[in-house]
């Protein structure tokens, strides 16, 4: 088994820096989940920290296995209309199914005994795959051969093209976002889902979408302005309280209530300084920050490891993002390009929203730090995304190899031609 794993990483087709970055994040996560969980030992038992580390290790093992399978076995031709709609329908049904359970004021999880599943995390990757097909291959089916017999047929043709190529994908995005906000009451994950979909739409290289990209920008600006005026009517009470606690964290009535986590997170950043207090020496994890091994693990990492801990969170994620964008720029396949950009935005948005929230730069929305925060859904979804991205990198490498071989053959022919001459 060990030999097979080593051979897997030695073979061409796997981007080793990405795998190394993933390995660093996974190790950091498991170690820091154990450290952060120690603070709750007094209330949840001495085995709580070990249990969390073992559980996270199991999630990682499952995710790594799926990642390895997808890296070698995922095919772009698997993404078609039928598979896209199947993934979308299953995702929507799963998200709606969460209404039977309430966790922390939202319906974002499905409870399976002692385990929980968050469908929205998998839906983010699902929407990237769905849009990679909808925004790159649907319009190619509408090809004009010759001239239209009547103006009515021409109008119908372009209307159908608009409905299937633009309106339908946008409707899928809006509906999924609406389910997340209205049914699940999970604004944080829904906003990230919407942002990923927006980036995928703007990144499609097909010429047909150029004029619609400008309209989407205008629509987005109008929506933001309207939302600004209607924010008190749209947002729930607990969501408005989060904004108030973010803007006024030291307000007396907020400190011991809605701002408690944020204030203690800021204290953790202050105590950490440059070098940190040392691994295991966090003070804020002792019930000052509830469930510190989840969304606020970034604050504990900085408190214990300082700038070094911050670098361990940011640099590996930045490597993943940079290399995915690099391959997206190199690859010729439009579907692969949208996938790579979508997955890069998935990692980028999670990093920004999580660290921005725990440091007080933006309101906290309950978004995990991928591969570091405790959680099976986010960990497995992130590793699935890496596996799919690695498959696309393999295609880039294959194309480069073919191109190099073609160049060598041409050079050989030229040399032979010169010798014969």
Indicate whether 99 pLDDT > 70. Answer: yes
pLDDT digits (tens, 9 = 90+) for 159-193: 998 999 999 999 999 999 999 988 988 888 999 99
Q: How many helices (H) and strands (E) does the chain have?
A: 16, 2
Q: Which residues contact 273 (CB under 8 A, 6 or more apart)?
A: 306
pLDDT digits (tens, 9 = 90+) for 45-87: 778 999 999 999 999 999 999 999 998 888 888 999 999 999 9
Confidence label for 230 from pLDDT (cuts 50, 70 and 90): low
- 340 burial class (0-12, 13-18, 19+ CB within 10 angstroms)? buried
Average the pLDDT over 130-143 and give the result.
87
Confidence label for 240 from pLDDT (cuts 50, 70 and 90): low
pLDDT digits (tens, 9 = 90+) for 355-385: 998 888 888 777 899 999 998 999 999 999 9
Q: Give the mean pLDDT of the chain.
A: 85
Report the pLDDT value the prediction gives residue 369, as an integer from 0 to 100: 93
Tokens representing residue 223 in the block: 């929506």
Indicate whether 217 pLDDT > 60. Answer: yes
Report the pLDDT value the prediction gives residue 87, as an integer from 0 to 100: 95
Report the pLDDT value the prediction gives residue 8, as an integer from 0 to 100: 56
Count: domains in the chain: 1
Are 333 and 395 a contacting pair, CB within 8 Å?
Answer: yes
Are 110 and 97 a contacting pair, CB within 8 Å?
Answer: yes
pLDDT digits (tens, 9 = 90+) for 312-367: 999 999 999 999 999 998 888 889 999 999 999 999 999 999 999 888 888 877 78
Q: Give the separation between CA 177 and CA 124, rounded to whole angstroms.
A: 10
- In whole angstroms, how large is the CA radius of gyration of the chain? 24
pTM of the model: 0.87
Are 269 and 276 a contacting pair, CB within 8 Å?
Answer: no
Its domain, for residue 85, covers 2-420
Instruction: Show the DSSP H helices in 235-333 as ranges.
Output: 237-247, 252-255, 260-272, 297-330
3-state SS class at 46: coil
Report the pLDDT value the prediction gives residue 177, as an integer from 0 to 100: 93
């Amino acid at each position: 088994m060990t030999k097979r794993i080593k051979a897997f990483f030695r073979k061409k087709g796997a981007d080793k820096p990405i795998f190394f970055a993933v390995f660093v994040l996974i190790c950091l996560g498991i170690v820091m989940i154990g450290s952060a969980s120690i603070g709750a030992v007094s209330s949840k038992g001495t085995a709580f920290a070990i249990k969390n580390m073992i559980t996270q290790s199991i999630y990682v093992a499952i995710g790594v296995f799926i990642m390895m399978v997808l890296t070698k076995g995922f095919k772009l031709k698997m993404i078609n209309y039928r598979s896209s709609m199947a993934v979308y329908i299953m995702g929507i049904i799963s998200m709606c199914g969460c209404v039977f359970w309430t966790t922390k004021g939202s319906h974002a999880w499905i409870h399976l005994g002692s385990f929980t599943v968050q469908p929205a995390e998998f839906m983010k990757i699902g929407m990237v795959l769905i849009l990679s097909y909808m925004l790159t291959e649907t319009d190619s089916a509408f090809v004009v051969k010759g001239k239209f017999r009547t103006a009515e047929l021409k109008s119908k043709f372009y209307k159908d093209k608009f409905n299937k190529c633009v309106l339908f994908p946008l409707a899928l995005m809006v509906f999924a976002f609406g389910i997340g906000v209205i049914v699940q009451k999970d604004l944080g994950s829904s906003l990230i889902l919407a942002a990923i979909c927006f980036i995928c739409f703007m990144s499609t290289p097909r010429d047909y979408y150029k004029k619609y990209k400008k309209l989407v920008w205008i629509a987005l600006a109008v929506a933001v302005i309207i939302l600004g005026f209607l924010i008190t009517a749209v947002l729930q009470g607990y969501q408005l309280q989060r904004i108030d606690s973010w803007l006024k964290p030291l307000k007396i009535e907020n400190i011991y209530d809605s701002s408690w986590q944020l204030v203690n997170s800021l204290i953790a950043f202050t105590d950490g300084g440059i070098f940190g207090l040392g691994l295991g020496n966090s003070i804020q994890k002792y019930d000052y920050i509830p469930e510190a091994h989840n969304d606020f693990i970034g604050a504990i990492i900085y408190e214990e490891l300082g700038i070094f801990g911050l670098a361990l969170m940011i640099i590996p994620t930045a490597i993943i993002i940079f290399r995915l964008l690099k391959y997206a720029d190199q690859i010729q396949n439009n579907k692969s390009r949208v996938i790579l950009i979508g997955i890069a935005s998935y990692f980028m948005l999670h990093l920004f929203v999580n660290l921005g929230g725990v440091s007080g730069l933006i309101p906290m929305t309950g978004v995990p730090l991928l591969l570091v925060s405790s959680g099976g859904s986010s960990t497995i979804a992130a590793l699935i995304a890496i596996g799919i991205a690695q498959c696309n990198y393999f295609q880039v490498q294959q194309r480069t190899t073919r191109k190099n071989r073609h160049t060598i053959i041409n050079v050989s022919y030229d040399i032979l031609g010169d010798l014969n001459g």
